[in-house]
A and B are shown apart, each in its own frame.
Chain A
Amino acid sequence: EIVLTQSPGTLSLSPGERATLSCRASQSVSSRYLAWFQQKPGQAPRLLVYGVSSRATGVPNRFSGSGSATNFTLTISGLEPEDFAMYYCQQYGTSPKMFGQGTKVEIK
């Protein structure tokens, strides 16, 4: 199975700052099947990015994904108040479709 490790565990930033979230895989993720999700307390996860770098419908362009093979990044170019939340990466190319443990983006 592919294990995903996200870092940092918590990111403390101010609105307007740039957030850089990392997701490292224990082996190469097949066919770029790497997604990022946002989750707020009491809500279901929301798909942000799939295929490493494609934004889901309705996702603002301040969210961007990049990377390849075993190293992936989600960048939020300028944090808006609604962006403070938990973020998870997931590989969906092979089962088990593991999630990373999450990065919390909190207000500094």
Chain B
Amino acid sequence: EVLLVESGGDLVRPGGSLRLSCAASGFIYSSYDMNWVRQAPGKGLEWISSISNSGITIYYADSVRGRFTISRDNAKNSLYLQMNSLKAEDTGVYFCARDRGPSDYWGQGTLVTVSS
């Protein structure tokens, strides 16, 4: 069974940093690209970053480029999102998703709240 479990969400002050993790199991993790998608409270889905299976090719949404860094450790079957210079508008649930072209499996999400 494919399973994705996010962790690391927390309450953080504006300007602070946070590192999210996504633990993958049930599939050959090193064969798949991965995505991070977020959802602000009561709002729609926002794609924020993708990483290729090798970790070589990376893309970011304009809203997070220069502040967030996606990475992966294929030996640990894990995906990461380092978030710096956090803003109130970064508040939301962050999902990791397996990329099979479309995102076919999703975690349940981890909540990030940016507030003073």
Contact = CB atoms under 8 A, between A and B. Distances in A.
Interface of A: 33, 35, 37, 39, 43-47, 50-51, 56, 86, 88, 90, 92, 95-102
B21 interface: no
A87 to B, nearest CB: 11
Contacts of B106: 44-46
Interface residues of B, number: 20
B95 A97 contact: no
A50 B45 contact: no
Contacts of B44: 86, 88, 99-102
Interface in B78-112: 95, 99, 101-104, 106-109
Nearest to A97: B47
Most B CB within 10 A of own CB, among A35, A39, A44: A44
B61 A96 contact: yes
Contacts of B101: 33, 50-51, 92
Interface of B: 35, 37, 44-47, 50, 59, 61-62, 95, 99, 101-104, 106-109
Contacts of B104: 47, 50, 56
Main secondary structure of the interface of A (DSSP, over half): loop
Nearest to A94: B59
A44 B102 contact: no
Given A96-B47, A96-B62, A97-B47, A50 B102 contact: yes
Max chain B C-beta neighbours (<10 A), residue from A46, A47, A97: A97
A95 B57 CA distance: 11
Contact of A45 (B50, B95, B99): B95
